Amino acid sequence: MQPRIIGCGNPDRGDDAAGVLVARRLRTLGIEAEEQSGESFSLMDAWQGCETVIVVDALCSDHAPGEVKTWDACANPLPKTALQCSTHAFGLYEAVELARTLDRLPDKLLIYGIEGKEFAPGTRPSIEVERAVELVAQQIAEFVQANDVERQGVS
Amino acid sequence: MTTAKTRTIKVDYLARVEGEGALYIKLKGDQVRDVKLKIFEPPRLFEAFLRGRHFSEVADITARICGICPIAYQMSAIHAVERALGVKIDPAVRKLRRLFYCGEWIESHALHVFMLHAPDFLGYPDAIQMARDHRAVVEQGLRLKKAGNHIVKVMGGREIHPVSAAVGGFYKTPTKSELRELGEELKWALDASVATAKLVAGFDFPDFEQDYVFVSLSHPDEYPFNEGRIVSSRGRDIDVSQYEEYFIEKHVQHSNALHSLLRDGGSYMVGPLARFNLNFDKLPEVAKQVARDCGLKVPCRNPFRSIIVRAVELVFACHEALQLIAEYEPPASPRVEALPRVATGQAATEAPRGLLYHRYGLDENGLIVSAKIVPPTSQNQKRIEDDLWHFVGQVATRPEDEITWKCEQAIRNYDPCISCATHFLKLHVERE
């Protein structure tokens, strides 16, 4: 089964669009990927019962714009400060940590974070983030293909 | 003689509120010298870009104002247009709109009671920490919220930014069996809401009361959702079309959201506490009894007790939804046609956070020529500052981090939605 891929963000708030843009790019490559605002409870519902889930979201920390971070969310707690770009009271960080407490995490949950620099309403994503979007989309596509080959090999 | 020291307390980013805002408090000794609720989330200009759009688009555009209470925006907008165009809706559609609103109240109140407000009273920084010790409570909150979401999904086509509401009715109405499927979970939700009210009634509440002017809708036969006259605890009783004669909006430098005031001066409160105090007699007996069992008396003037009132409203909404589902007969047609004409229409409905007023001016082609939207958080903004002016004095001798936490709690009493009001919170306390 293909991993469930979720791109989070607001396409109208500059670099906050990073996750959504990755989902859109993956679809052009023929890989199923959905878009979400990043609201916790929808995310928890979306990954309920899934084996492998990949979530992509924008980061807002002190790293260089376009820098990509990855986390195995099932293995370790997420860093709170970097993953709180959302103006929603409950975002990706809360979704993962609440799900961990309530035993509602999928078997495997990979998080890709893309560092942004400009989050103002109505702005375009920065060039650094656009480049990172392509890089992350390619990495996820390779992951999906590798899993596919592995699975077919097994069957 | 000693000179009192001036202190400033700043919360640069308020937690567990919707949107972006900050709080600034200036103290001289233990005396409050200034309080500013700063809303810095940028204006979203919905009123401006509604102009030139056709009235049929109003529900889908205004639904985008808020991810938590889109139905409130849809309902106020649709009712205002329908009043402008003289549209008379099918009684069955009216009942479906009440059911739609039940879904939004259940999901919004469950989110606030369990995830945003309960951690304040149980002494946790957030719902995640709370869930480690109170797993069953958090599970119950999530399930209640989901029960509300299901109503919204069945009625609106999807849980967030629903798409079925239209001027004149709905684009699609549910079948009896679709609604009946909601029944079992709502029966559980009703029992869970009663248990929730009893749980939160056991919390410790600060001894804090204010002489509020409460404002809400009032309907002769129903606890208010979609229609009614605007009434206040000072005896005001007006048609919705008179709203702007009695309530004004004022720009203040420190906020991107306009402050609403009574035209004859002063702040007022909208929301669950106002609705409960002005409409207690319209609650079904089950909700009245729960309120009595929880020690609530009318008028309740302690804003911290609003968490109990929200739970009582959860009881009401679940009970009302069950009743509406049991009585449901699909309308002959999902919607009636609305013909354009030059007109102006106003409407107010009761969003989970309080009265939500819309006004639209339409031209002969049905295009919107003017729009005015006054969200509940905008109306409560001045009242929140007034609460803090009085509340901070009670906690001014406490350590700074405790003052900050208590002030945030006082703000969360209002479940402010900054994203709607412009739209929340960083605290800055300055001591001289």
B124 lies within 8 A of chain A by CB:
no
Selection from A68, A82, A75 nearest residue A128 by Cα? A68
Rounded distance between C-alpha atoms, residue B374 and residue B224, angstroms? 18
DSSP code of residue B54:
B
Q: Is the pLDDT of residue A61 over 90?
A: no
Could you say which residues from 103 to 142 on chain A have a Cβ atom under 8 Å away from some Cβ of chain B?
120-121
What's the pLDDT score for residue B420? 47
Residue of A64 and A151 predicted with greater confidence: A64
DSSP code of residue B335:
B
Distant-in-sequence contacts of B266-269, Cβ < 8 A, 24+ apart: B266/B213, B267/B213, B267/B382, B267/B383, B267/B385, B267/B386, B268/B212, B268/B213, B268/B214, B268/B215, B268/B232, B268/B379, B268/B383, B269/B212, B269/B213, B269/B214, B269/B215, B269/B303, B269/B354, B269/B380, B269/B383
Asked, as a colleague might, if the bond just before B375 is cis with ω within 30 of 0, I would say no
Closest CA–CA distance from residue A45 to any residue of chain B (Å): 10
Rounded distance between C-alpha atoms, residue B279 and residue B224, angstroms? 8
Phi first, then psi: give them for residue B307, nearest 5 degrees.
Answer: -65, -35
Burial class (CB in 10 A: 0-12, 13-18, 19+), B59: buried
- Rounded to the nearest integer, the mean pLDDT of chain A is 89
Inter-axis angle of helices B135-156 and A92-101, nearest 10: 130
Burial class (CB in 10 A: 0-12, 13-18, 19+), B420: buried
Rounded distance between C-alpha atoms, residue B118 and residue B111, angstroms? 10
HSE-up (13 A, CA, CB side) for residue B215: 28
What's the pLDDT score for residue B222? 96
Rounded distance between C-alpha atoms, residue B373 and residue B93, angstroms? 24
DSSP code of residue B151:
H
Question: pTM of the entire structure?
Answer: 0.90
What's the pLDDT score for residue B425? 39
Contacts of B336 (CB under 8 A, 6+ apart): B87, B88, B89, B90, B168, B169
Q: Would you state the structure tokens that stand for residue A6, as one six-digit string?
A: 């979720």
In this prediction, residues A48-65 reach a mean pLDDT of: 91
Rounded distance between C-alpha atoms, residue A7 and residue B197, angstroms? 37
Tens-digit pLDDT profile for residues A127-141: 999 999 999 999 999
List the CATH code of the domain at A4-152.
3.40.50.1450
Rounded distance between C-alpha atoms, residue B93 and residue B90, angstroms? 5
Q: Grade residue A155 by pLDDT with cuts at 50, 70 and 90.
A: very low
Neighboring chain B residues of A98 at a CB cutoff of 8 Å = 127-128, 131, 138
In this prediction, residues A34-54 reach a mean pLDDT of: 91
Q: Would you state the structure tokens that stand for residue B121, as one six-digit string?
A: 């009273």
B17 lies within 8 A of chain A by CB:
yes
Inter-axis angle of helices B135-156 and B176-201, nearest 10: 150
What's the pLDDT score for residue B255? 79
Closest CA–CA distance from residue A36 to any residue of chain B (Å): 10
Burial class (CB in 10 A: 0-12, 13-18, 19+), B205: middle
| Interchain proximity A89–B18, CB inside 8 Å | yes
* Alpha helices, DSSP H, located in B171-300: 176-201, 243-246, 272-279, 285-293
Angle at B273 between CA B278 and CA B241, to 5 degrees: 55
Rounded distance between C-alpha atoms, residue A26 and residue A125, angstroms? 17
Q: Which amino acid is at B411?
A: I
Task: Find the helix or strand (DSSP H, E) in which B429 lies.
Answer: strand B426-431
Give pLDDT tens digits along chain B (432 positions). 445 677 776 666 555 555 667 888 888 888 888 888 887 666 678 888 899 999 999 999 998 887 778 999 999 999 999 999 999 999 999 999 999 999 999 999 999 999 989 999 999 988 999 999 999 999 999 999 999 999 999 999 887 788 899 999 999 999 999 999 999 999 999 999 999 999 999 999 999 999 999 999 999 999 999 999 999 999 999 999 999 999 999 888 887 778 899 998 899 999 999 999 999 999 999 999 999 999 999 999 999 999 999 999 999 999 999 999 999 999 999 999 999 999 999 999 999 999 999 999 999 999 999 999 999 988 999 999 999 999 998 888 888 888 888 888 898 899 877 554 432 334 455 656
Burial class (CB in 10 A: 0-12, 13-18, 19+), B252: middle
ipTM: 0.82
Burial class (CB in 10 A: 0-12, 13-18, 19+), A28: exposed
B385 lies within 8 A of chain A by CB:
no
Rounded distance between C-alpha atoms, residue B392 and residue B7, angstroms? 12
Q: Would you state the structure tokens that stand for residue A39, as one six-digit string?
A: 């609201």
| Interchain proximity A94–B126, CB inside 8 Å | yes
What's the pLDDT score for residue B42? 61
Could you say which residues from 47 to 86 on chain A have a Cβ atom under 8 Å away from some Cβ of chain B?
none
A46 lies within 8 A of chain B by CB:
no
Rounded distance between C-alpha atoms, residue B200 and residue B185, angstroms? 22
Q: Would you state the structure tokens that stand for residue A81, as one six-digit string?
A: 């400060």
Rounded distance between C-alpha atoms, residue A17 and residue B213, angstroms? 43
- Output the 3-class SS for chain A: CCCEEEEECCCCCHHHHHHHHHHHHHHHCCCCCEEECCCHHHHHHHHCCCCEEEEEEEECCCCCCCCEEEEECCCCCCCCCCCCCCCCCCCHHHHHHHHHHCCCCCCEEEEEEEECCCCCCCCCCCHHHHHHHHHHHHHHHHHHHHHHHHHHHHC
CB atoms within 10 A of CB B353: 28
B119 lies within 8 A of chain A by CB:
no
* Alpha helices, DSSP H, located in B296-360: 306-327
Angle at B337 between CA B334 and CA B343, to 5 degrees: 130
A88 lies within 8 A of chain B by CB:
yes
Q: Is B160 helix (H, G, I), strand (E, B) or coil?
A: coil
Tens-digit pLDDT profile for residues A73-101: 999 888 876 666 554 567 899 899 999 99
Q: Would you state the structure tokens that stand for residue B219, as one six-digit string?
A: 């309907």
